[in-house]
Structure 1
Amino acid sequence: MRKALVSGFDWNGTTPRGRYLLALLGFTVFSVIGSYVLERRDIPYWGEAVVIVVAAILLIPLVGLTIRRLHDAKLSGLWTWLTFVPGLNLALLLALLLISTRATYGRVPPSRLRSVGFMLTALGAFVILTRLIWEPYVMPAGGMKPTLLVGDYAAGLRFAEDHGRGDVIVFRHPVTDRPHVARIVALGGETIRLEAGTVILNDTPYPAEPGGTFTETMARQGRSGSLPRCSNGAVGFGAPCEKAAYLEQLPGTAPYRILDIADQRSDNTASYTVPEGHVFVMGDNRDNSTDSRTPSVLRGVGFVPLEAIEARLSVVLFSYAGQSPLQFWTWRAGRYMQVIG
């Protein structure tokens, strides 16, 4: 196994099938263990850091061994890029394991194209290392529309301090203990209430301005297959689902869009005084969000302690509109690298 990994850093050779199989088994075992560690919330940061650093280091030999195996099969190393395409990567790896050759583990002349591929792979390893300072989050529900859509894969900055009003944060839900996303609208020591949907902060109203109409397609969204709520009545599958949009701006924030579906009880609340060391959060999809307006005893969020905040979301990396990211025809290319405001 050690010899296989070391040889993977030299992309000019070839790799016999047995050695390639051994390397893939090792990578598979590490992937299973690593995924378990990264998904556990009680794992200390140093445990996550070990997994991330090892994953970054192993990326280069994994690609290198695949290129060497392609050489062994008398194929171009350019086929390696299929390993980054979901579905096709498994087909390629299986084919490389099934192909029988009589290679002598010889040398393959170096090329400029291979050098470029090595540098790009090294860059990919560096990107993996940056995972030490950011946290990924996939939106499973529509409580933050239109800022975040179901299926948005967003990145949040870890170790962010001085969380301010307007920040979109990830925090631990007090009831489910799962990651939850909402926007900070009030800080510790402030008072807040809603009247007819208008935020009254420290006894000062901040009415939102009309911001057009938010339209999406009536279809099942995310892995849960939930359906969006519409303000234009009951619409059939594939039809436009509309909601009124407004521009809200609170002290110290830039304007951001919120949605209104209908008049309902959550549009009018009691007055809350946010305890020190806590924040009051709401979803931008105001009529379809479980947030600080509902106390935790009623399975809501209540006041969010600062220590429960895990990250501040800053950018959408990837987005899909279907029920699985493998449905490439539902990918929203227009949302890639979109800044979260």
Structure 2
Amino acid sequence: MAEKKQDGIMETVKTVFWALLIAGVFRSVFFQPFWIPTGSMKDTLLIGDFLFVNKMAYGYSRYSCPFAMCPISGRILDREPEMGDVVVFRHPTLNTDYVKRLIGKPGDKIQVTDGVLSVNGEEATQVRDGIFTEPYQRQGRFGTIPLCTNGPLALGEDATCEKEKYIETLPNGVEHSILNVGPGRLDETNVFTVPEGHYFFMGDNRDNSTDSRVSQRANGVGMVSEEYLLGRVDRVIFSAAGKRLLFFWTWRGDRFFKKID
């Protein structure tokens, strides 16, 4: 009887082991779950969006595995990302995964003047697209308070936060939404030249994004080496406006399987 019980325990251990191994391989090779904790990519991605990162899009590096454990030098099956892709990458110094829009590729010259982006001297046109609104209240598990153009406001569900919304067209023709709160320190930059093997990223919520406009030494993102690219974001699977994804009563019905532009 004791022997049968021991055999049953061993079978359970084996089952759990193989299940974890398969899940680890799937996560490392195909798709990685990712939850949006901050508002730097509004309104393309909202706090509480749940998505899968397509890890096959750009190939693999050692950072493609949990804890950077992939036995890979450089990148394998490497494919170059395109300007305008929404990309998840590992922050070069903080060991945290970030999601931003790819703006500059190796050799590109990037500058922001009066809030307008230029790539290699060509302006990315902005066309006004109304107002983005959201409740002025703490958002997500971090309790983030949004920035608004119509402040100051009192926290609460009855207060509506507004931001100017634009459709930006990148030089390669990719169109996407961006938000503007008002004049800020990142609306005027020097010219950035993207080094070989690196990429330049910006958030769509332009006045509330930690991105490549600020160097890593100043707690920004700076230029991101290709080895830190994890994959591309194509769709939101579902989205929750509450503090936890499992709070189904806070799920946003209009974001199920929403395609990312």
Change over 3 Å in CA distance of 1:216–1:271 after alignment to 2: same
Q: Partner residue of 2:224?
A: 304
Q: What is the CA deviation profile of residues 285-340 of structure 1, one whole-angstrom value per residue up to 9, with x for unaligned ones?
A: 00000000000001110011111100101110121011112222111121010011
Shift of 1:193: 0.5
Task: Please give the residue correspondences for 1:14-163 in structure 2 after superposition, counting only pairs within 5 Å.
Answer: 34=20, 50-52=21-23, 132-160=29-57, 161-163=79-81
2:91 aligned with 1:194, yes or no?
Answer: no
Give secondary structure in 1 for the equivalent of 2:123. strand
- Number of residue pairs the alignment of both structures matches: 234
Q: Partner residue of 2:128?
A: 210
Structure 1 runs of 4+ aligned residues shifted over 6 Å read: none
Change over 3 Å in CA distance of 1:28–1:283 after alignment to 2: farther
Q: Partner residue of 1:335?
A: 255
Shift of 1:231: 0.9
Using the aligned pairs only, state the percent identity.
40
Question: Please, which runs of 5 or more residues in structure 1 have no aligned partner?
Answer: 5-17, 35-49, 55-128
Highest RCO, 1 vs 2 (Cα 8 Å, sep ≥ 6): 2
Rg comparison, structure with higher value: 1
2:99 aligned with 1:181, yes or no?
Answer: yes
Shift of 1:213: 0.7
Q: What is the CA deviation profile of residues 230-258 of structure 1, one whole-angstrom value per residue up to 9, with x for unaligned ones?
A: 11112231121110000101122421000
Paired residue for 2:194, among 262, 274, 288? 274
Q: Partner residue of 1:293?
A: 213
Shift of 1:203: 1.5
Q: Partner residue of 1:321?
A: 241
TM-score (norm 1): 0.63
Please give the alpha-carbon distance, in whole angstroms, between the structure 2 residues aligned to 1:178 and 1:221. 20
Task: Please give the residue correspondences for 1:247-262 in structure 2 after superposition, counting only pairs within 5 Å.
Answer: 247-262=167-182
Shift of 1:225: 1.1
**Is the Cα–Cα contact under 8 Å of residues 220 and 323 in structure 1 kept in the other structure?**
no
**Is the Cα–Cα contact under 8 Å of residues 124 and 170 in structure 2 kept in the other structure?**
yes
Please give the alpha-carbon distance, in whole angstroms, between the structure 2 residues aligned to 1:249 and 1:144. 16
Greater share of strand residues, 1 or 2? 2
Cα-Cα RMSD:
2.7
Give secondary structure in 2 for the equivalent of 1:266. helix
**Is the Cα–Cα contact under 8 Å of residues 138 and 152 in structure 1 kept in the other structure?**
yes
Q: What is the CA deviation profile of residues 42-96 of structure 1, one whole-angstrom value per residue up to 9, with x for unaligned ones?
A: xxxxxxxx33289xxxxxxxxxxxxxxxxxxxxxxxxxxxxxxxxxxxxxxxxxx
Question: Please, which runs of 5 or more residues in structure 2 have no aligned partner?
Answer: 58-78
Please give the alpha-carbon distance, in whole angstroms, between the structure 2 residues aligned to 1:53 and 1:184. 27
Change over 3 Å in CA distance of 1:28–1:286 after alignment to 2: farther
TM-score (norm 2): 0.82
**Is the Cα–Cα contact under 8 Å of residues 165 and 184 in structure 1 kept in the other structure?**
yes
**Is the Cα–Cα contact under 8 Å of residues 119 and 171 in structure 2 kept in the other structure?**
no
**Is the Cα–Cα contact under 8 Å of residues 28 and 55 in structure 2 kept in the other structure?**
no
Q: Partner residue of 2:85?
A: 167
